[in-house]
Structure 1
């Protein structure tokens, strides 16, 4: 059972009759005043909705906008005529004939070398198996050997000679027999030698392959042969000799122990050796620049 709250007693006030009476009197006065103010000729007229007066349409005149003035651009001044040099006729590149086979290359190679050498120099050149001889000879030089049977030139006609005395030495005339060969070698520039080498390199590689090497390895062999010859010591005086039966040998053991290729260069004499080495250095530079 829930408790219901008893509303508190509210004190009831008696109605304010004076206030109610005053309100009634105010309403009556307002109604009377309205009746007096509104006479018969001033009765409110019925409200008539009047359509809004249409405004006259103004006639608009087209106003031409000022056109932008275009700036007159003067044409560029005529450029001075430049005289062009007359067209030169370009010579076509020379037609390079295909290389012959290695077996048929002698005539072509000899004719090409003949363009650089004199008739006297050409007389020292062996004209059979030119490329094969050169390849085998250089391959032996790189190993310090002299392959006499595969020499690309004729052997000297004059023999080796010595000067007898207290000390056995090489006769300077023996150096002269190598002078024509040195002239052949030095008559061509290093650039011409390398150009011939490059021109016939395919045939050179073929010849190198025939003796059991990889064709493109010959360039390294050529470099090794040049290095070995350039390493040949240069004596500053006479070189004493010792007689050994029918042959001679160097009295100094350091000379006698040199590879055969270097001893051959020594036998050419100091002046010839210097000329050969100068060409070899230039050829080496040309090969390095490729």
Structure 2
């Protein structure tokens, strides 16, 4: 907090390990969401809770008719081949060079569905710079300049070709379900977990005005109890700022429309 109360503000940490990878979350939405998932999200179909995991999942017994998973290298090669043209931005191409793409995606979805941050799974997307606040009329508010740390994520998300990504989904959905079942409780499906993950994204409020925070120990928390009551996943997404949040939520809605249009075709 700026002890002098000027409008330039002071550099502070909001919390250790703030938002590290929500651009990948929207990639999940586009690549893996099924029409049934989005129908359930939009119409309130009940779901079965899933257990999140950021650790390497244990080896689970396969059903007799379930083929073995391809290697991580083979799954990575498939996604890179199919998604190479999904965005013209170089940052997206760099993300696709990371290993274990599909396994990371499944873990991110599980974390999001439970309201937890997936930062340890996508640490390569850590933003540069520090969270900043400034004082205004005796209050500590988030400096709007701090949101620019996430502009790259927001711009990549906005650039994604949703048609290509939705088409790619059909090739990897079964693989994602197999990976999900390695650590999911009995009866849980990847679709139901994904539904809960995107409900978390769409429930985040877009805040265009000043957002007040207050110190709590070494960290800052939201002064508004309703904002502070959001899940860790939602609060991290909120800290990307209104413009980037609109990019993400807009892309989610765009994809849901395409998927529901496909589901309605005879």
The TM-score normalised by the length of structure 2 is: 0.65
Once superposed, which parts of structure 1, at least 4 consecutive aligned residues long, lie more than 3 Å away? 213-216
Name which of structure 1's ranges 189-198 and 262-271 shifts more when overlaid on structure 2: 189-198
Per the alignment, residue 112 of structure 2 pairs with 141
After superposition, give the CA deviation of every residue in 1:93-116 in whole Å (9 maximum; x if it has no partner): xxxxxx970433223322332222
- Match of 1:248, SS state, is strand
* Matching of residue 274 in structure 1 with residue 243 in structure 2: no
Q: Matches of 1:101 and 1:248 in 2, distance apart?
A: 44
Per the alignment, residue 150 of structure 1 pairs with 121
Per the alignment, residue 108 of structure 1 pairs with 78
- CA shift for structure 1 position 124: 4.2
Root mean square deviation, CA, Å: 2.3
Q: Matches of 1:185 and 1:249 in 2, distance apart?
A: 27
Over 3 Å counting, the alpha-carbon distance change for 1:111 and 1:119 in structure 2 is: farther
The TM-score normalised by the length of structure 1 is: 0.60
**Matching of residues 247-266 of structure 1 within 5 Å:** 247-266=219-238
- CA shift for structure 1 position 200: 1.1
Per the alignment, residue 58 of structure 2 pairs with none
Which of the two has higher C-alpha Rg? 1
Over 3 Å counting, the alpha-carbon distance change for 1:160 and 1:184 in structure 2 is: same
- CA shift for structure 1 position 121: 2.5
Higher relative contact order (CA 8 A, sep 6+): 2
After superposition, give the CA deviation of every residue in 1:134-177 in whole Å (9 maximum; x if it has no partner): 11111111121112111275211222111234211111121111
Over 3 Å counting, the alpha-carbon distance change for 1:278 and 1:153 in structure 2 is: farther
| Runs of at least 5 residues in structure 2 that lack an aligned partner in the other structure | 1-67
- CA shift for structure 1 position 282: 1.6
Q: Matches of 1:108 and 1:152 in 2, distance apart?
A: 22
Query: Between Structure 1 and Structure 2, how many residues are aligned?
Result: 192
